[in-house]
Every structure is written in structure tokens, then in C-alpha cells.
Copies of this chain bind each other. A is one copy, B any other.
């Protein structure tokens, strides 16, 4: 892609309404544009990053055997009355009347609807266990939307639902998702810590919030520092291995505000191992048994002919929020560097261009074409801006690798820079191999 053709409205100034760095960067780099309060359009750069995050989330769900479907955004109020949440949910639920006066709503979550699908489709214990998920837009009519896509009204979310015969089987599903979440965040370049959490309006008795550390986070967290050293690569996809992983995490104190108790904290964690800081919630998992299956009468036949309400859990990841969360984690000293796996492009070619001398332009184009033909996703800055202005722009765009064609470059070796890393002089072939190898690692 040529930068002059890319639809990327870069802003020179930071808009005053943006209080945190992810919101600032996303507006300045032309990743999003607010269309009305708390509702955003995703411009090509932001969209591309979000799609890459979505793909990783999807792959890790599929790996644990979850099946993807898609529920609509607009739901009937009826099933929410069946579950009893229609009145409870409050003003954050966007309530709608259709042309016939029927009560509808824009789904803020999908426990009711998935339960209704499941009860109509599955009759026998033989079909269990089952995990279903979708990645769909949700709406919460926030009173004070803020921090850009971090706390907005319309947001993109993966929500999964597990269905099991009993508590024991259900905990296995819960643990599988726990494992999938750790792998998902790791592939996104994030260290997310599962924290014992309050179950809130979803209800139930077992819940973890996955939190990444960030000064701008809205969750206060209290933990044992050693929890950050757990190596999830030691574990595999089997039930027994995942159970060990769960146990290792359970060894260390890690809770959010709602569950915090100072006496407990001091008793369980030595002073010098205590970490009190802030974080951003990027995922949340719940086990709630028959909280929905009972009122909605979702049951299966057992082998002996008896009926049992299925035991359910629900599991969310904020896909659009993750774009901002990754920025909060990776944008520092005014330089953004996307993790390779979610970067909008793999490499940028940044030539110094003179009006009266086409040689650098032609050279840049040759490099660009070679990389493109090698299936590398490359952005060429073909604008006539000064090199220093280009660098400032790329500090916002955050592509992790740059090929810089200044005056210094010789014919055979190119200046290849890893953002926040070293600069090497490499041949084009060497650069290509480096990029392809990095891709294979991720």
C-alpha cells in the first residue's frame, strides 16, 4: 500500500477530549473517528488491527473446540423477561420499540439468547459438553462514555457459552477457557493476569477477570508479584495439564477491588512481594451453573430418562477494547510499536524524497515491489514530506520495522530498523528472510 493512497487522516494535534494515551493515539493516527458520543467508526488502520486481534481470539477459541455462530444485535425483550434481567439491567440497556410497538433491545450480552437457542436445539446428554461463541457488536448505553473505545457504547466482543451436565464437567470447560485466554493474550503480546473477581450482574460463584497492568486502568488490583513469572508454555491442552495450570495461578494472591481484603492480602503475601496497581480488564470468565438454564427451562434428557438443567458458564473478551489496551501497554515515550502479530503492516519503507531527483523514489518502489511479491504486507511512504516529519508520523502508526532510505544508504545494504531496537545494514534478501522468520515464530 502507498501511504498517499491509504485512507489515514493523521492529526497534527492531540484532540483535547482525549485523556489517555490510547485514545490520543487512535485519534491522531487516524485509526478511529467518533461518529456520535461513545460511538466510533473504525478507519482502515484501526480496522486492520482489530481484525488481526479478532483472528487470534477466534483461533484460540477454535483450538479448545468451541464452535462459532452469530447471534443478532437486536433481541426481543421477551427472553430477558423470562430470565428476570429485563427490569434489573437498568438504563445501560438500549431499549427499542419497533414499528409495531414490540419491545426490543440492543444486546449488551447474550446469556438469554444462547440459552434459548440451546434449549430449542439440544435434547440429549449425548450432545454435551458444548461450547458456543460469537464475535459480535454489543451496545451499552454508558452514561459517561470516555477513554475512546476503552469505555464506549458500541463495542466488539467475543462471548462464549459452555454447556455441561454437572459442576465437575463444567469446571473443565471453565478451565479450558482459562487456558485459551492466557494463550490468546500471550499471542497478542500482552501479560494478562487472571484475578479472582466478583461475579456482578452475570451472577454465579466462580469468576476471573483477566487484567493487564496499566497506569490508566480503571480496575485497582492487588497481587503477589510472583504471579507474573508463571510460564504457561509448560502446559498443554489436556484437562490434567490445564488443572495444574489453574492450581499454579491459585497459589498466588491476585484480586480486584471488589474481592480485596487487606488482612488477607497481608497474611498471604509478604510485604516485598505485594503489588498494588491499576489494570485494564481485557477478559472476564464466569461460571454460574443453572442461573439461566433454570428460569429459561433449558434441560437435556439423561440416560435414565430424567431431565437436568444444563450447567453454564460465560466467557467474554473485549476485542475492540483490546486495540486500546495494547496501545496502553506498548505506546511509550511518544513511540508506538505494535506487536508483530497485530501490526497493521509488517514493514514500512521510508525514503527521503527530493523533488528534482527521482532516484530514491525508484529505489523505494523497487524495494516495495520486491517485498510485496514476497507476500510481505508493506507500506511505502511516497509522500514528499521531510524525513523528520515522516519519522514523527511513523511513531504514531507504530509499524515495528522500518527500511529507511536516507542519504546514507549504499546500493547493496539497506538501513533496517526495529522500532525501539537496533538498526542494521542488511541486504533486501536478508530483510525479507528476517520478516518471514518473525512471522513464523508468532
Contacts and interface: CB of A to CB of B under 8 A. Distances in A.
Contacts of A36: 74-76, 78, 102, 104
Given A7-B69, A117-B41, A35 B94 contact: no
A42 interface: yes
Interface string A100-122: 00101010000001001100111
A255 interface: no
A70 B156 CA distance: 11
A391 interface: no
4 A-B pairs closest in CB distance: A9-B121, A36-B76, A42-B70, A91-B99
Most buried by B among A4, A74, A94: A74
Interface of A: 4-7, 9, 30, 33, 35-37, 39-44, 47-48, 50, 65, 67-76, 78, 91-92, 94, 96, 98-99, 102, 104, 106, 113, 116-117, 120-122, 126-127, 130, 132, 137, 139, 141, 143, 153-154
Contacts of A121: 7, 9, 30, 33, 43
A102 B99 CA distance: 18
A75 B35 contact: yes
22 contacts: A4-B126, A7-B121, A9-B121, A9-B122, A30-B121, A33-B117, A33-B120, A35-B72, A37-B102, A39-B72, A39-B75, A39-B76, A40-B72, A41-B113, A41-B117, A44-B67, A44-B68, A44-B69, A50-B70, A73-B73, A92-B99, A94-B99
A102 B4 CA distance: 38
Contact of A35 (B50, B71, B126, B127): B71
Contact of A41 (B7, B70, B92): B70
B33 A154 contact: no
B154 A74 contact: yes
A37 B72 CA distance: 12
Dominant secondary structure at the A interface: mixed
Q: Which of A50, A113, A121 has the largest number of chain B CB atoms within 10 A? A: A121
B153 A41 contact: no
A102 B37 CA distance: 10
Given A41-B70, A72-B154, A35 B139 contact: no
Best-surrounded residue of A50, A69, A122 (most CB of chain B within 10 A): A69
B141 A98 contact: yes
Given A47-B68, A96-B106, 5 more contacts: A6-B67, A48-B68, A74-B94, A74-B154, A91-B99
B69 A99 contact: no
B106 A74 contact: yes
A73 B117 contact: no
A304 B389 CA distance: 26
A74 B153 contact: yes
Given A67-B7, A130-B7, A72 B41 contact: yes
A141 B101 CA distance: 11
